[in-house]
């Protein structure tokens, strides 16, 4: 079996699997970084005001959703994997996984920064904390759009 | 029941300066008075009116407040706060304003305060002494191996003793230099991370030389205090500490015995804070020598009560005029009043901005959409049931402040929507218990996406409708046409055209759609520049307005989050169940861990879903919906009461 024969017969499942990996990996890296950024800001606040722990947790969780979208997309692709799927289907699923992976990566970090600033609002002007929350959520729109686009792509072509 | 911005009347009240205290007292009982600050009213000042000087009693009250606050702070430190649930159930005691005054006036808090102050300062003194002793003890502990009375160290006739510390990082080179000294003995008593604790004995002749050597290694002399050996000294410090602790315990017991006064202090505090507000209200007034001018606002339907309140406040003479407010006056304060249902959504309006007096109150308008959208994003029967049960229990059992109560009620109402959408999607903890829903989000997300966009359409059209309503109400028909009419035409036409690509429509309808859209777009260009001068500018601005279409595209796409959040929540729940399912297959231990995974995973997902739905629905309201008609920026109507901290005031 030559390499190209191998690619034609098993490439589908390989690229499908790669799609799962990309969706979960990059959005996961982004979310982890984002959570880290907010966590640092929150830890600074907790030194002085430990009673705000619960509310800082809300801010910290915000950039966590990108990783979850990536995870969900990963699960959905896993559901379509078969050992003898055609190469083009695998490549197509791989392409479909890219938005949620990469937008998730960038947006989670950006959202982490916005949420860290929101923690400052919580520290200095507690009553306005929800506004800080909403600024951070604005960023998430693009992660959501990427997630929706996966659904549209995956549904657009039936193999 | 009104559903909107409360109608206001403005009043001018002239009353004698000597009656001011009584008058303000009555007005505070009345509560619904908002004073206009006349400090900036230059026209009145030009006529010779002067600012009212704040009464000297303000200083006294501030002093009293500080005392009571101090007493409360002391007592709260010793108050074993009933934790969480129980405290919430009992809540804060409720008083009417009259009860508060009666109770506060009966309390003689001063003697209890003096006792408390003395006890607390005793505790402070003891704690200070304890700190000193502990520091001393810590210092001595390094020298514990030095088995020689401290006072004798300085009493040698032929020898001299050095006691002190050396930084550990500089220590090694010392040994070489010490080798030159004949009559010196240097010993390390102990060491810690940073320092060596050093004892040196030398003859008087060599003392200077040794000191030089030591000093070059950053030696610093420690002056040990005490008579006996370090060990003996530490023992005696321990004894003293014990005595102090006992003494402190006794004093603290007496403080705890005073805890019964805590609720009294709290009542007095609230009373004093209100009294201060009352006195400081006169900063808003202007006065001649004997007469005060008071301007302010009251809700229109309370006019009668307001007149009666003033009449019955025992004024010798007064002059009161009440008139309707100018709707467009930006100084008119805004008070919202809504039905029991819409009321709980007021926090959303407040968070964005209060409406201006001539706008509409968006609260009842956003409430139904919020309800539907929130449910659609969470969409799980079990999550909804948990919300419903939890909020019902809290509402029934707990004595809550009004704000907290409204917040819980908010989720109580939302839970119904969550249950309904959960049933529609056939979701119960994700797929834990299979239910046949009307649509399966995992398979038919295309239809749900269409539905989401359709809801967006209704939402945006409704927003435009409110915009048109406000213009028509104020007889600005052209504005209504320019801000809403032309957009309705363009959007409806465009939607007709887009639909025709997917479903067969009669040719007539297609033609109508096309021309309606074109008419709408032309309308946008023509009316867009209505507020600018010059033909060129008008056309330029009009064409720029066309660019607003891209905004609408963005708005519609934004509603796809209605589908996306429900779907991701559902999938995460399903993933949790899947992991638990795998664990269930490996026997008893697997079942135990599986159950833990389900409880932990589902709890996290409930929290994430609710948080996500809360903020994303808010965003749809603030950005997409409010963007079509709402500006906000009204002044808040300040009730003539201070917000209580320790009690509920009715």
Do residues B434 and B515 both lie within one domain?
yes
Q: What is the domain extent for residue B569?
A: 340-629
Do residues B182 and B323 both lie within one domain?
no
Check A148 against B449: CB less than 8 A apart.
Answer: yes
Check B568 against A76: CB less than 8 A apart.
Answer: no
Give the pLDDT confidence score for residue A87 in this predicted structure: 92
User: Is the residue at B308 inside a domain?
Assistant: yes
Q: What angle do CA B356, B357, B361 make, to 5 degrees?
A: 75
Check B619 against A61: CB less than 8 A apart.
Answer: no
Lowest mean pLDDT among B211-215, B233-237, B475-479, B570-574: B211-215
User: Is the residue at B290 inside a domain?
Assistant: yes
Q: List strand residue ranges (DSSP E) for B111-214, in order.
A: 159-167, 184-191, 195-203
Inter-chain Cβ pairs, chain A and chain B, closer than 8 A = 64
Q: How many CB atoms lie within 10 A of CB B233?
A: 22
Instruction: Report the gap between the CA of A1 and the closest CA in chain B (Å).
Output: 37
Using an 8 Å CB-CB cutoff, list chain B residues near A76. Answer: 571
Q: Mutation test of the interface with chain B: which of A70, A121, A137, choosing the one with the most B Cβ atoms within 10 A?
A: A137
Distance CA B502, CA B121 (A): 82
Domain termination residue (choose one: B163, B198, B228)? B228
What is the per-residue pLDDT across B122-166, written as a single tens digit (0 to 9) for each? 999 999 999 999 998 888 888 888 888 888 887 788 888 888 888
Looking at residues B284-300, what average pLDDT do you find? Answer: 88
Check A141 against B561: CB less than 8 A apart.
Answer: yes
Q: Give the pLDDT band (50/70/90) at residue B169.
A: confident
Q: Give the pLDDT band (50/70/90) at residue B2.
A: very low
Q: Would you list the DSSP string of A35-97? A: HHHHHHHHHHHHHH-GGGHHHHHHHHHGGGHHHHHHHHHHHHHHTT--TT--HHHHHHHHHHH
**Residue with tokens 């956003």, as numbered in its chain:** B366
User: Is the residue at B381 inside a domain?
Assistant: yes
Backbone angles phi and psi of B168, in degrees to 5: -65, -35
- Residue B598 neighbours by CB under 8 Å, 6+ apart: B429, B432, B576, B577, B580
Highest mean predicted confidence (pLDDT) among B186-200, B292-306, B410-424, B612-626: B410-424
B302 by Cβ neighbours in 10 Å (0-12 / 13-18 / 19+) ranks as: middle
Q: Give the pLDDT band (50/70/90) at residue B1.
A: very low
Looking at residues B402-423, what average pLDDT do you find? Answer: 94
Token pair, residue B336, equals 């919202």
What is the per-residue pLDDT across B104-113, written as a single tens digit (0 to 9) for each? 888 888 888 8
Distance CA B137, CA B133 (A): 6
Q: How far is CA B301 from CA B7, B339, B459, in A?
A: 8, 17, 33
What is the per-residue pLDDT across B605-645, written as a single tens digit (0 to 9) for each? 999 899 999 989 998 999 899 989 998 888 899 888 888 88
Residue B170 has pLDDT above 80, yes or no: no
Backbone angles phi and psi of B338, in degrees to 5: -135, 165
Do residues B322 and B423 both lie within one domain?
no
**Which 3 state secondary structure label does DSSP give B102?**
helix
Name B526's bridge partners. Answer: none
Highest mean predicted confidence (pLDDT) among B66-70, B385-389, B500-504: B385-389
Residue B256 has pLDDT above 90, yes or no: no
- Residue B198 neighbours by CB under 8 Å, 6+ apart: B162, B163, B164, B165, B166, B186, B187, B188, B189, B214, B219
SS3 content of chain B, % helix, strand, coil (to 5): 65, 10, 25
| The domain made up of A8-156 is a member of CATH 3.90.76.10 | no
Residue B189 has pLDDT above 90, yes or no: no
CB B381 within 8 A of CB B423: yes
Do residues B486 and B592 both lie within one domain?
yes
Give the pLDDT confidence score for residue B82 in this predicted structure: 58
Percent of chain B at pLDDT > 90 equals: 34
Output the domain CATH number for residue B28: 3.30.70
User: Is the residue at B410 inside a domain?
Assistant: yes
Token pair, residue B217, equals 């290694």
Highest mean predicted confidence (pLDDT) among B186-195, B224-233, B323-332: B323-332
Do residues B193 and B328 both lie within one domain?
no
ipTM score of complex: 0.78
CB B354 within 8 A of CB B632: yes
Q: Give the pLDDT band (50/70/90) at residue B228.
A: confident
Look at residues B565, B568, B602 and name the one whose alpha carbon lies nearest to residue B433: B602
Do residues B497 and B521 both lie within one domain?
yes
Distance CA B561, CA B579 (A): 27
User: Is the residue at B3 inside a domain?
Assistant: no
Q: How many domains does chain B have?
A: 3
Residues in chain A: 159
**Residue with tokens 């934004």, as numbered in its chain:** B558
B196 or B131, greater pLDDT: B131
Lowest mean pLDDT among A144-148, B32-36, B95-99: B95-99
Residue B650 has pLDDT above 80, yes or no: no
Give the pLDDT confidence score for residue B83 in this predicted structure: 59
Token pair, residue B236, equals 């005696």
Q: How many CB atoms lie within 10 A of CB B452?
A: 26
Helix axes B57-78, B262-280, angle to 10 degrees: 150
Q: What angle do CA B459, B347, A129 make, to 5 degrees?
A: 105
Check A155 against B558: CB less than 8 A apart.
Answer: no
Using an 8 Å CB-CB cutoff, list chain A residues near B616. Answer: 137, 140
Do residues B479 and B417 both lie within one domain?
yes
Do residues B321 and B344 both lie within one domain?
no
CB B222 within 8 A of CB B154: no
Do residues B593 and B562 both lie within one domain?
yes
Distance CA B49, CA B40 (A): 12
- Residue B512 neighbours by CB under 8 Å, 6+ apart: B496
Token pair, residue A2, equals 């030559």
Average predicted confidence (pLDDT) for chain B: 87
Using an 8 Å CB-CB cutoff, list chain B residues near A151. Answer: 445-446, 449, 563-564, 567
Give the pLDDT confidence score for residue A115 in this predicted structure: 94
Distance CA B310, CA B35 (A): 15
CB B648 within 8 A of CB B401: yes
Using an 8 Å CB-CB cutoff, list chain A residues near B574. Answer: 75
Distance CA B559, CA B571 (A): 19
Look at residues B12, B10, B645, B642 and name the one whose alpha carbon lies nearest to residue B281: B642
- Residue B501 neighbours by CB under 8 Å, 6+ apart: none
Distance CA B78, CA B55 (A): 36
Q: Point out the residue among A134, A138, A148 whose CB comes nearest to the CB of B564.
A: A148
* End-to-end CA separation in angstroms for chain A: 26
Token pair, residue B548, equals 């607003």
User: Is the residue at B602 inside a domain?
Assistant: yes
Instruction: Report the gap between the CA of B403 and the closest CA in chain A (Å).
Output: 13
Domain termination residue (choose one: B228, B261, B290)? B228
Distance CA B598, CA B573 (A): 9
Give the pLDDT confidence score for residue B85 in this predicted structure: 64
CB A41 within 8 A of CB A119: yes
**Residue ranges of A 3-32 with Cβ closer than 8 A to chain B:** none
Do residues B495 and B619 both lie within one domain?
yes
Greatest alpha-carbon span in chain B: 124
Using an 8 Å CB-CB cutoff, list chain A residues near B446. Answer: 151, 155
Give the pLDDT confidence score for residue A114 in this predicted structure: 95
Using an 8 Å CB-CB cutoff, list chain B residues near A138. Answer: 619, 623
Instruction: Report the gap between the CA of B423 and the closest CA in chain A (Å).
Output: 22
Check A155 against B446: CB less than 8 A apart.
Answer: yes
Q: Is A98 on the interface with B (CB under 8 A)?
A: no
Check A144 against B351: CB less than 8 A apart.
Answer: no
Output the domain CATH number for residue B204: 3.30.70.2750
User: Is the residue at B98 inside a domain?
Assistant: no
Look at residues B288, B436, B349 and name the one whose alpha carbon lies nearest to residue B633: B349
Instruction: Report the gap between the CA of B373 and the closest CA in chain A (Å).
Output: 16
Going by their DSSP bridges, the two strands B195-203 and B220-221 should be labelled as: unpaired
Do residues B39 and B175 both lie within one domain?
no
Look at residues A44, A65, A42 and name the one whose alpha carbon lies nearest to residue A55: A42
Distance CA B16, CA A153 (A): 78
Q: Point out the residue among B560, B572, B607 whose CB comes nearest to the CB of A68.
A: B572
Distance CA B450, CA B30 (A): 53
Q: Is A92 on the interface with B (CB under 8 A)?
A: no
Backbone angles phi and psi of B321, in degrees to 5: -125, 135
**Which 3 state secondary structure label does DSSP give B20?**
helix
Which DSSP category does B200 fall into? E
Lowest mean pLDDT among A33-37, A97-101, B311-315, B327-331: B311-315
Token pair, residue B608, equals 């994430």
Residue B61 has pLDDT above 80, yes or no: yes
User: Is the residue at B621 inside a domain?
Assistant: yes
Looking at residues B93-98, what average pLDDT do you find? Answer: 85
Look at residues B393, B390, B425, B358 and name the one whose alpha carbon lies nearest to residue B570: B425
Q: Would you list the DSSP string of B144-156? A: TT--S-GGGGG--
Using an 8 Å CB-CB cutoff, list chain A residues near B449. Answer: 148, 151-152
Show the low-confidence residues of chain A (pLDDT under 70).
none
Residue B456 has pLDDT above 90, yes or no: yes
Instruction: Report the gap between the CA of A81 and the closest CA in chain B (Å).
Output: 16
B550 by Cβ neighbours in 10 Å (0-12 / 13-18 / 19+) ranks as: exposed
Q: Give the pLDDT band (50/70/90) at residue B88.
A: low
- Residue B218 neighbours by CB under 8 Å, 6+ apart: B166, B167, B170
Distance CA B131, CA B128 (A): 5
Instruction: Report the gap between the CA of B591 and the closest CA in chain A (Å).
Output: 23
Looking at residues B558-582, what average pLDDT do you find? Answer: 90
Do residues B284 and B206 both lie within one domain?
no
């Amino acid at each position: 079996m030559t390499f190209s024969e191998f690619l034609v017969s098993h490439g589908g499942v390989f690229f499908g699997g790669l799609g799962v990996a990309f969706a979960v990996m990059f959005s996961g890296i982004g979310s982890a970084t984002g959570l880290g950024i907010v966590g640092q800001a929150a830890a600074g606040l907790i030194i002085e005001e430990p009673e705000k722990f619960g509310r800082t947790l809300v801010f910290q969780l915000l950039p966590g959703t990108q990783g979850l979208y990536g995870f969900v997309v990963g699960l959905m692709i896993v559901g379509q994997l078969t050992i003898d799927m055609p190469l083009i289907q695998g490549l197509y699923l791989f392409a479909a996984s890219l938005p949620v992976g990469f937008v998730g990566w960038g947006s989670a970090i950006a959202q982490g920064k916005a949420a860290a600033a929101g923690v400052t609002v919580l520290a200095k002007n507690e009553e306005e904390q929800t506004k800080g929350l909403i600024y951070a959520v604005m960023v998430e729109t693009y992660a959501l759009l990427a997630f929706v686009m996966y659904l549209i792509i995956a549904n657009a072509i039936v193999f | 029941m009104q559903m909107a911005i409360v109608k206001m009347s403005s009043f001018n009240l002239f009353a004698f300066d000597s009656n001011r205290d009584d008058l303000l007292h009555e007005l505070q009982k009345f509560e619904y008075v908002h004073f206009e600050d006349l400090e900036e009213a230059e026209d009145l000042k030009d006529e010779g009116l002067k600012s009212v000087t704040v009464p000297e009693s303000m200083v006294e009250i501030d002093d009293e407040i500080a005392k009571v606050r101090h007493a409360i702070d002391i007592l709260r430190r010793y108050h074993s706060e009933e934790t969480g649930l129980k405290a919430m159930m009992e809540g804060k005691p409720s008083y009417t304003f009259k009860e508060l005054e009666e109770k506060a006036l009966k309390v003689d808090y001063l003697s209890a305060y003096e006792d408390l102050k003395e006890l607390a300062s005793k505790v402070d003194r003891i704690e200070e002494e304890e700190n000193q002793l502990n520091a001393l003890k810590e210092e001595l502990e390094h020298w514990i191996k030095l088995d020689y009375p401290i006072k004798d160290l300085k009493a040698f006739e032929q020898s001299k003793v050095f006691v002190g510390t050396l930084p550990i990082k500089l220590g090694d080179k010392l040994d070489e230099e010490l080798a030159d000294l004949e009559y010196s003995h240097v010993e390390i008593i102990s060491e810690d991370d940073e320092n060596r604790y050093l004892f040196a004995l030398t003859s008087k002749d060599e003392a200077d030389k040794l000191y030089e050597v030591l000093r070059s290694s950053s030696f610093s002399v420690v002056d040990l205090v005490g008579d006996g050996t370090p060990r003996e000294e530490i023992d005696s410090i321990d004894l003293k500490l014990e005595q102090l602790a006992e003494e402190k315990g006794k004093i603290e017991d007496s403080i705890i015995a005073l805890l019964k006064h805590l609720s009294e202090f709290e009542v007095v505090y609230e009373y004093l804070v209100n009294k201060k507000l009352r006195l400081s209200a006169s900063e808003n007034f202007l006065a001649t020598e004997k007469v005060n001018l008071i301007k302010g606002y009251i809700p229109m339907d309370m006019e009668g009560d307001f007149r009666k309140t003033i009449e019955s406040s025992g004024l010798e003479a007064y002059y009161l005029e009440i008139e309707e407010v100018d709707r467009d006056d930006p100084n008119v304060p805004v008070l919202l009043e809504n039905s029991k249902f819409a009321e709980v959504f007021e926090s959303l309006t407040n968070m964005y901005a209060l409406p201006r007096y001539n706008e509409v109150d968006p609260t009842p308008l956003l409430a139904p959409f919020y309800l539907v959208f929130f449910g659609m994003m969470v969409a799980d029967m079990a999550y909804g049931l948990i919300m419903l049960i939890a909020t019902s229990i809290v509402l029934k059992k707990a004595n809550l402040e009004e704000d907290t109560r409204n917040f819980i009620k908010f989720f109580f109402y939302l839970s119904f929507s969550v249950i309904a959408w959960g049933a529609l999607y056939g979701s119960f903890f994700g797929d834990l218990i299979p239910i046949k829903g009307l649509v399966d989000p995992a398979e038919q997300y295309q239809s749900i996406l269409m539905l989401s966009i359709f809801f967006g359409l209704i939402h945006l059209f409704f927003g435009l409708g409110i915009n048109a309503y406000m213009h028509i109400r104020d007889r600005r028909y052209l504005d209504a046409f320019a801000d809403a009419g032309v957009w309705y035409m363009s959007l409806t036409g465009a939607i007709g055209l887009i639909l025709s690509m997917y479903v067969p429509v009669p040719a007539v309808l297609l033609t109508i759609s096309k021309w309606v859209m074109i008419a709408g777009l032309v309308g946008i260009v023509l009316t867009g520049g209505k507020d600018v001068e010059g033909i060129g500018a008008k056309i330029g601005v009009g064409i720029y307005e066309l660019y607003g279409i891209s905004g609408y595209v963005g708005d519609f796409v934004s509603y796809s989050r209605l589908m996306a959040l429900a779907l991701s929540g559902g999938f995460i729940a399903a993933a949790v169940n899947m992991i638990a399912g795998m664990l269930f297959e490996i026997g008893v231990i697997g079942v135990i861990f599986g159950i833990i995974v389900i409880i932990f995973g589902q709890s996290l997902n409930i929290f994430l879903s609710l948080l996500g739905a809360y903020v994303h629905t808010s965003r749809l309201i603030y950005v997409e919906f409010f963007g079509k008609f709402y500006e906000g920026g009204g002044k808040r109507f300040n009730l003539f009461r201070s917000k209580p901290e320790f009690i509920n005031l009715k």
